[in-house]
Each structure stands twice: as structure tokens, then as C-alpha cells.
Amino acid sequence: MGYAYVSTESGKTVFSVATLTTPNSTFSIAQQSPITLQLITRLSFSVDPFTRKDWYDIKAPSMFDVRQVGKTLVNRTQGLKNANDYLKGRVVEVSLGDLTKDEDRAFRKIKLRVDEIQGKNCLTNFHGMDFTSDKLRSLVKKWQSLLEAFIDVKTTDGYLVRLFVIAFTARRRNQIKKTTYAQSSQIRQIRKKMFEIMTQESASCDLKELVSKLITSSSPIAQDIIGHRIEKACQGIFPLQNVYVRKVKILKAPKFDVQSLLALHGGDAAGDADVGTKIKSDFVEPAVQESV
């Protein structure tokens, strides 16, 4: 009997086929087994798929401190298959702690969507926000009431956004009672205040200003501006703690405009690419001679 096997010697793949000798003839196993022959042919002509791919830089909008988010991989443009078509629409999830260099805000997850390609740079736009599961579970405790509310608001630049707010009741000053449960009437009043403040803060600004309010910390616990306003406004109804805009969803976006996206990125399409210095030539055009 004979066998086809593959061995590696000094980084090179070597294919060998053992032969079978009979009194009448000598033949190889590959000649008798089409499956083995196909396997050897496939292995011998295999190409690394990464040789057909290109790396692209992912750029975050100018509202974040860190613009370079990471890199993404895509098949190189070939024939009718354009690499830009496969890059547009990709959604990247990044920690806010990495975008702002602040580990206290690492519990927020920011979603960025690729909308335009400029050279080797993928220009992104805000696509949503969420909490990490460990942060959300650490807030839920016994002997307190959990309050949630969500509302759909439209920004001045045409984005339809759904905001989700979460809050927890807190102990009053010098309170002796163990529990801090709120009554149903108080919960309705607090939720009404939430709706009013979310509408005021969101409907009077564009998407860039809204995101800035969500990522800007106004307290040592990395509370956003909207959550801080809700906590202050509800003190007369019932004390609250850990008030956050925990989730943001983009329900509807206006028609895509390249100029608006470039303005969101500070007008720098190429990001932080290195640009050479223009060199002035010392060449002077000679005067025209009257005769040669």
C-alpha cells in the first residue's frame, strides 16, 4: 500500500506520494484516488487570504479626544467589487474611556458607523450608546426603587433619537427607615420631570451637541449633564441617586451629506496624516537669446 502525506521542512510544504509496486506494474496512490489528487492540488496552490486585503484607519468625530479608534480590514478593490462599498455601514463599538482617556467613564460603550471613505481613512458618525452589563448590574440593589423612562426626540439637524434614562431612589438625610421605596404617585411625577428635561436638552441642539452632553461628566461618578439635571429637579419629589442616560438609539437619520460629516470631523478629511513641506525651487528661466 501507499499513502499521500504532507510534511514541512524549513518552512516549505513538501508533498509526497508513496508508490505501490506489483509484479506487473508500478503506480502511485494519487493516480488511483481522485480525492487525494484534489487535496494535493488544493494545498499546493493555496494563497494566504490576507495578501488580498488592505488595512484602513477608523477615525472618530472631533467631539472625542482620541480620533484614532483602530483599524479594519477589507478585501482590495478588484473588478466591480469596490472596497469602499464593503466598508460603508460598518459599526464599531468603542469604550468611552478609550475615546476620552478617562477610565472612570469606561462603562459607556459608544457605537460609531462608517459613513465615508477618504483615502485610507474611514470617517465615522455617532450611531448609539449603551452601558456595560457589569455597570448596570452593580447599580441594582435591594431596598430601593428603580425608575426608567424613554422618549423619542428630534434634534435640530433632523436625527430622531430615543433616549433611555435610569434612576434609583436614595435615602433622605438622617433617615432611620431601612427602605427607600417611592410611591406610585411620586414615580409618575419623577417620570414626568424626566420627559420634560430630556425634551428640553435634546430638541434644542444638534446631534453633536447632544453627544457632548452625554459624554461630558459633571460629577465624580461620571454622571452626564442630563442625568445631573434630572437628579436636581426631582429632589423636591423624592431623593434620587445614580441617574444616567443609560442608552441612546438612532431611529432615523437625515439624508447623508458629505459636507456635514466633514464638518463633524473638523473639516480634516485625512485625519492626522503626515503632510510634507512644500519646497520652493531656485530655478530661473533663462532670457531669450537674439541669435544662436
**pLDDT attached to residue 291:** 73
**pLDDT attached to residue 47:** 76
Q: Span 99-115, mean pLDDT?
A: 92
Q: Would you say residue 252 has pLDDT above 70?
A: yes
- Give the per-residue SS3 of 161-229: EEEEEEEEECCCCCCCCCCECCCHHHHHHHHHHHHHHHHHHHHCCCHHHHHHHHHCCCCCCCCCHHHHH
Q: Span 251-257, mean pLDDT?
A: 92
**pLDDT attached to residue 155:** 93
Inter-axis angle of helices 207-215 and 225-233, nearest 10: 70
pLDDT in tens, 86-101: 999 999 999 999 999 8
The pTM of this model reads 0.74
Q: Where are the alpha helices (DSSP H) in the chain?
A: 29-32, 34-44, 83-87, 96-100, 133-139, 184-203, 207-215, 225-233, 258-264
**Per DSSP, what are the bridge partners of residue 27?**
20
Every domain range in the chain assigned CATH 3.30.479.30:
52-264
Q: Span 6-19, mean pLDDT?
A: 47
Q: How confident is the model at residue 12 (pLDDT cuts 50, 70, 90)?
A: very low
Q: Pick the range with the lowest mean pLDDT from 110-124, 183-197, 267-281.
A: 267-281
List the CATH code of the domain at 52-264: 3.30.479.30
Closest C-alpha among 161, 168, 127 to residue 145: 168
Q: How confident is the model at residue 284 (pLDDT cuts 50, 70, 90)?
A: confident
pLDDT in tens, 147-162: 999 999 999 999 999 9
**pLDDT attached to residue 271:** 46
Asked whether the beta carbons of 113 and 89 are under 8 A apart, the reply is: yes
